[in-house]
Structure 1
Amino acid sequence: MKKLLMLCVILVAAGSFAFAKGNAEPGKSIPTTPPEMPIVKVSGGQLKGFVEGDGTLAFTGVRYAVAERFGKPQPVPAWQGIKPAQVYGPIPMVPEQTAVGYDEFVWPHRYYIQSEDCQYLNLWTQTLSSSAKKPVMIFIHGGSFNNGSAMEAVSYEGGNLSKFGDVVVITVNHRINVLGYLDLSSFGDAYKDTTNLGQLDLIAALQWVQENVAQFGGDPNNVTIFGQSGGCRKVQSLLHMPAAEGLFSKAIGHSSIYNPITQEQANRIGQLTVQKLGLTAATLDQIKTIDYRTLLAAGVYALGEAGKEYGISFSGWNVSIDNVTLLATYPEFAKSIPFIQGTVFSEAANNNLNLIAQGINKNTWTAAETDQYLAKRFGSDAAAVKAAFTGLFPEKKPQDAFFYDIGRRGPTLDYLVEKAQSGSAPVYNYLFAFEAPVNGGVLPFHCSELTYVFHNVNLREVTRATGGTVDVYKMQDVMAQAWINFARTGNPSQPGLEWKPFDPATKTGTLVFDTNSRFAPLDDQNLRQIMAAR
C-alpha cells in the first residue's frame, strides 16, 4: 500500500512538472521575475505600458484628444501621477451587430466596449530611446466610415510588425458614422466645425504623434500612414487636407475607391437628419443629448432620402469637400508624398467564402465544371475571359477567373494616375493574390492582406485562419518587408523583388503578391472590359 501511495505521489509530481513545462515555449525558460513595466512622459503626464512576451513594449488605450459630441477634438488635460496604458480604450460607437460575420473564421473579430469618448490610440515599439529615430507606421482602420475600430480585428495587433521591422506601430480610434461625418454646418456658427469631424480626430492623433513619438523611439519626421477600405479613403482624404501638412511623409491605401461627396450633399444629409429627429434650428442643441441609436437611425434615414433627391446611392457615411478642411485638389505638400495603393484578388463581391460555406471547393472543379461556372458569370464571353485571365495569371487555375474582382482595381489605377500627375512623388501599385491553404483554398478577400502586412500569422486565431504553412509564413515576410522598406526609405523594393513605380502613361506596373511574388506590367484592361460587359 505504501509503495502504491509513493508511486501516485511521484506520478502526480511528474505530471505537475510536465504541465508547468508545457506553459513555456520549446527552448524558452520560464522567467522567475516579471519584466519591469515601461514608463514614458508625454504631453499631459506619464504613461505606464507593458512588455509583451517577445520583449516588445506596448502602450494601449492612450488618450490623444478629448471632444464633446459634435465638437472639435481638444488636447488631453494634464494629469497627476502615472496613468496605466495597458488595456485597449473604448472603441467608437457603431451600429448594433445581430449576427456573426460570414468571414469570422478567416477574419476573426473582437467586439468591445463602445463610447463616444473614443479618441484613443495603441502603440508598439522596441525602444524608448528618444534618439533612436525609428520609422513610424500609423494604421487607420476600415469599416466604410460606418463601423470598425483599431482593435476590431485580431490581425490589427501591432507588436509583431514592430518586432519584425524594428519600427513604431500605432493604431488609431476616431469618431465614425453619424458622430464623425454628420455635417451640421448649414445651421450656423455654433456647428460650423462639424464638417469631417472624424478626419479632424485623425489630425489630432497625428499631431499627438508629432509631439510625443520620439519618447517611444520614433522619428516624427518619418511617419507613414496606411489604411484599408474606409481607412484607405481616410488616408486619401488626409492627402487633401491642408491641416495634415507636416504630419506624415508617406502613405499607403488598401482596397477602396475615393469618392467624397459635395458640401451641398453633406448639408442636405444634415438637414434631413435634423428634420427626422423633429428638431429645428431653434432646438438643434438637443441633438447633443439625443440617444445615439436614435441619432444614428435618423442619419441612416437621411442618407436614403438624400440619395433619392440626388438620384445617387449614398451607401454610407463619407467625407465631404468643403474646400476648407478638405480640398477638391491636392494641397502643395501632398504632391511630394510617395504613395502605394492596391487591391486584393477577390475583394468583397467575388470571393469564394460563400461557396466554401456551401461545401463547394473550386479547386476540385473539373475542366467542364470550370467552363460551366465561367459561362454562368460571363455568358458567351466565358472563353475570352478564360484566355485573357490565364495569359495574365499563368500561375493561377482557370477557375480563379470566376472570382477576379474588377470593381476596385480600375478606380485604383485611375487614382494612381491622378496622384502621379499631381507632382513628382512616385506611386506604386500592388495586387494581393495569395491563396490561403485552408478550407480547400481561400482566395484573397477584402481585408485578408492585413494579416500578412502586420506579420501576424503566428497569432493563434490567425494561424488557423490562414493554414499556417511555410508558404503562409513566407508571404507575411515578403509583404511586411515591402511595407517596412517603404516606411523606412520610400522605396518598397527588397532583395530579389524589385518593385518599380507605377507608370501613369500606360497604367501598368504592379507588384503581384503570391506564392512566388513578381513585378509585372499586368495590363488587365482588356480583361476588365470583357468582364465589365457582364
Structure 2
Amino acid sequence: MKKIILLGGLLAVSTLATSSFSYSQTDPLVAGKNIAVVSTDLGKVRGYIHNGTFTYKGIPYAQSERFMPPIRPKAWTDVRSSTAYGPVCPTDPTTTVFDPLEFAFNHNWGYTNENCQTLNVWSQGINDGKKRPVMVWLHGGGFSAGSAIELPSYEGENLSKKGDVVVVSINHRLNVLGFLDLSSFGDKYKKSANVGMMDAVMALEWVKNNIANFGGDPNNVTIFGQSGGGAKVTTLMYAPSAKGLFHKAINQSGSYRQSFLEQEDSKKIGEALLEVLGLKPNQVDSLQKIPYEKLNEASKKAIAKVQDQMKKDGKAFVGGGLGWGPVHDGDFLPYQQVDPAGLAISKDIPFMLGCTKNEFMASLLNPAIRDFSKEQAVDFLKKRYADKTDAYLKAVEKAYPNTTKPSDYIDIDLAAFRPGMVKHANLKADFGGAPVYAYLFTWQSPVNDGMYKAVHCIELGFVFNNIDRCQEMTGGGKEAKILEDKMSQAWINFARTGNPAHKGLPAWPAYSSQNGATMFFDNKVEVRNHHDKELLEISSSK
C-alpha cells in the first residue's frame, strides 16, 4: 500500500512539474527546459516566450581568429540556452556621458568579448511551417562602435508582433578587429580588410539555413539598418557573396558614404600600425596576441599618421575623414559604388532610404544656439553663406514652411546625410531595376524643451514600434503613437511585398531623380517632390 501511495505522489508531482512549465498564452513570460526549443544546423537552442513572442538571444553564427574570415562555429549536442544577449565587440570604453543626450538615448553598453559573432531572433511562431517575412537588423555606430543591444529601440518583440514578421539582429566585428587591412603581409591576411562585413554575410547564411525553423521565410529577407548600419546595408548590396541572401534593403541615415576606402590607403593603415608598435613585417602574427586595448590605441595613431599623409597628398576621405570601414579590395568588394557592375549586383533589390531632418544638429554641440534670436541666427549663418544668406533663409522657408524658431534655420542637416541620401537615391533609381522609395523624418520631439528635434536615431522607436520603450526620446505621447503606427506598418509592408504603401499613408510613388518623391513622416504625413532642391544647391555651393 505504501508503494502505491508513494507512486501516486510521484505522479502528482510529475504532473504538477509538467503543467508548471507548459506554455500558456496568458503568461507574460514562459521559460523552462522544454520551452521554445528549435533545431539549427549546429544544434538545438532554447529561448523563452515573452508576451507570446518566441525570443532567442546570443545564438552563435560564426567564430574566427583575429583578422581571419569567419567560419562555422563548433556544433553542440545539448540544447543550448539562448536567453541572454551575447557579447558585443570591444570598442573605446565609455567613461563619461553628456547627461541630456544620455537621458534620451538610454544606452546599454553590454559586455565585451572579441568572440562576438552572435544574433538574436524574435518570432510569433516556431516549427509551424509558416513563411513569415524576415527582417535582419544591422546596428549603427559607424563601423567602429555600437551593438545589437545598444539602444532600447532595437528590441524586436513589438515589430515582430505587429507585423507577424521574424526579426533578427546581429553583432559582428568592428574597428581594428573587423577592418584592419594586413594584406601587405602575405596571403594569410589577404581578406583581413573586410572580415567585419564577412561576419554579416555569415549571419545571413545562418538565416538562410535556419530561419524556417523559427517561422521565417528564407526567400523573403529584408536587411535594414541605421547610420553605420545603413552603410552596412549598402555595402552588402555591393558584395557578390551576399547576393541571394537578402531580397529587399532599407538604409536609414546611412548614405553619408559615397565610396569604399581604396585598398592602397587601407594597406597603409596596417603598415603604419606595425610601425607604431615597433614590429617588423615578419612579426605581423604577433598582432594576434596583443591585448585589444593596446591594439586599439596603436590603431588610432596609425590612422592619424596615414590621414596626415593623405592630407599632404591632397587625397579626399570617405565619409569626411579617414576611419574604419569597408575596403574596395577587388575580392569581397570588387567594385566602387558608382561602378555599373557594382550597381548591377543589387539591381533587382527593392530599396528604401531616408534620413531625419536634423541628424547631428549644431545646437546639440553649441546649446547657446537654441536660444538665438533671429538676428543672432542670421549672423551665425552669414559666416557660412555670406552674401547668399538671404537666399538661404528663403530656401529654408520654402523647403520647411513651418520654420519659425531661429535655431531651426541652423539645425537642418545639409552636410552629409540628406545630400548623401539624394545622391544615393538618384544613383540607384537612375540605374533602373527594382523600385526605390525615399522618406524624410521631420517630426519634432517635445522632450527637454524640444532640444532633440528630429535628431539622429529618433526614427528608430517609430520603426520598431517601440515608442513605449523610447519615451525619453519622444515623450511617448499621442502624436508619437499615431506616427509609430504609420511608420512601423510601412517598414513591415516593405519587408512583406517590397512596397511600403498602406492605407494609413497617402499614395507613395517610387522615387526617381525627375520626381524627387519623398514621404514626409510628421504629424502630417505627405509626399513632396524636390522640396529642398534650392536649399541643397545653396548649401553645396559653400
If the length of structure 1 is used for normalisation, what is the TM-score? Answer: 0.88
C-alpha displacement of 1:361: 5.3
1:445 equivalent in alignment to 2:475: no
Check whether the contact 1:156–1:450 (CA below 8 A) recurs between aligned residues. Answer: yes
Distance of aligned partners of 1:268 and 1:32 in 2 relative to their CA distance in 1, 3 Å threshold: closer
Higher mean alpha-carbon deviation, 245-254 vs 370-379, is at: 370-379
Give the paired residue count: 494
SS in 2 for 1:223: strand
Structure 2 residue corresponding to 1:478, chosen from 483, 486, 493: 486
The alpha carbon displacement at 1:472 in A equals 0.7
Q: By how many angstroms is 1:146 displaced?
A: 0.9
- Residue 393 of structure 1: CA displacement? 2.0
Partner-residue secondary structure (3-state), 2:107: coil
Could you tell me how far apart the structure 2 residues matched to 1:79 and 1:271 are?
39
* 1:57 pairs with one of 38, 54, 57: 54
Q: How far apart, CA to CA, are the structure 1 residues paired with 2:30 and 2:495?
A: 33
Match of 1:267 in 2: 267
Which of 325, 328, 336 is residue 332 of structure 2 equivalent to?
325
* Structure 1 contact 144–316 (Cα < 8 Å) conserved: no
User: Aligned-pair distance for 1:374?
Assistant: 3.4
Instruction: Name the CA distance, whole Å, in 2 between partners of 1:91 and 1:274.
Output: 26
Deviation, 1:439, is 1.4
Deviation at 1:334, TM superposition (A): 0.8
Q: What corresponds to 1:12 in structure 2? A: none
In 2, distance between residues paired with 1:34 and 1:83? 17
The aligned residue for residue 397 of structure 2 is: 390
Q: Report how far residue 511 of structure 1 moved.
A: 0.8
2:93 alignment partner AA: E
Q: Is the 8 A contact 1:375 1:382 kept in 2?
A: no
Instruction: Provide the secondary structure at the position in 1 that maps to 2:74.
Output: coil
Q: Deviations over 1:288-309 (max 9, x none)?
A: 0011111111211111111122
Match of 1:296 in 2: 296
Q: CA deviation at 1:240?
A: 0.8
Judge conservation of contact 2:42–2:74 (CA < 8 Å) in 1: yes
2:434 aligns with: 425
2: distance between equivalents of 1:165 and 1:322?
A: 39
Q: Structure 2: which amino acid aligns with 1:405?
A: D
Q: Secondary structure at the match of 1:440?
A: helix
In 2, the alpha carbon distance for the partners of 1:120 and 1:226 equals: 17
Say if 1:427 and 1:501, in contact at 8 Å, map to a contact too. Answer: yes
The RMSD of aligned alpha carbons is: 2.0
Q: For residues 30 and 165 of structure 1, do their structure 2 counterparts lie closer, same or farther at Cα, with a shift above 3 Å needed?
A: closer
> What is the CA–CA distance in structure 1 between the aligned matches of 2:240 and 2:457, rounded to whole Å?
29
For 1:513, give the aligned amino acid: F
Superposed counterparts of 1:72-221, under 5 Å? 72-101=69-98, 103-221=101-219
The match for 2:37 among 33, 36, 39 is: 39
Letter in 1 for 2:464: F
Q: Where in structure 2 are the equivalents of 1:496-507 lying within 5 Å?
A: 496-505=505-514
Task: Tell me what 1:409 maps to.
Answer: 418
Residue 66 and residue 101 in structure 1: after superposition, are their counterparts in 2 closer, same or farther (change >3 A)? farther
- Structure 1 match to 2:537: 529
CA apart distance, 1:315: 3.6
Question: Are residues 1:335 and 2:310 paired?
Answer: no
Unaligned runs of 5+ in 1: 1-28
Q: Is the Cα–Cα contact under 8 Å of residues 386 and 398 in structure 1 kept in the other structure?
A: no
Cα shift readout 1:293-333 (whole Å, capped 9, x = no counterpart): 11111211111111122224544201110121002232644
Q: State the partner residue of 2:381.
A: 377
In 1, distance between residues paired with 2:310 and 2:370?
43
2-side partners of 1:422 and 1:381: how far apart?
A: 34
- Report the alpha carbon displacement of residue 529 of structure 1 after superposing the two structures with TM: 2.8
State the alpha-carbon separation in 2 of the partners of residues 331 and 209 from structure 1: 24
Partner AA of 2:61 in structure 1: Y
Letter in 2 for 1:385: Y
1:501-530 residue CA offsets vs partner (Å, 9 max, x unmatched): 111245x11111111111110331211233
| Residue of structure 2 equivalent to 1:4 | none
Cα-to-partner distance string for 1:339-382 (whole Å, 9 max, x where unaligned): 111111111143x44566x6x755xx7xxx23432332245544
More moved, 429-438 vs 34-43: 34-43
User: Against the structure 1 CA distance between its residues 384 and 32, is the aligned structure 2 distance closer, same or farther, given a 3 Å change threshold?
Assistant: closer
Alignment partners' CA distance in 1, 2:26 and 2:525: 39
1:324 to 1:30, Cα distance in 2 relative to 1, 3 A: closer
Residues 281, 375 of structure 1: CA spacing in aligned structure 2 closer, same or farther, 3 A cutoff?
same
**d(CA) in 2 for partners of 1:305 and 1:40?**
50
* Residue type of the alignment partner of 2:86: G
User: Equivalent pairs: percent with the same residue?
Assistant: 37
Preserved CA contact (<8 Å) 1:149 1:173: yes
1:282 alignment partner, SS class: helix
Q: Is the 8 A contact 2:398 2:532 kept in 1?
A: no
Q: Distance in 2 between matches of 1:270 and 1:190?
A: 14
> Matched residues in 2 for 1:307 and 1:120: separation?
33
Matched, 1:517 2:525: yes
Where in structure 2 are there 5+ consecutive unaligned residues? 1-24
Checking the alignment, whether the CA contact within 8 Å between 2:343 and 2:431 is kept in structure 1 is: no
Going from structure 1 to structure 2, the CA distance change for 1:331 and 1:529 (only over 3 Å counts) comes to: closer
Q: Quote the offset at 1:195 in angstroms.
A: 2.3
Q: Distance in 2 between matches of 1:371 and 1:404?
A: 18
Work out whether 1:455 is the aligned partner of 2:456. no
Alpha-carbon distance in structure 1 between the residues aligned to 2:135 and 2:449: 34
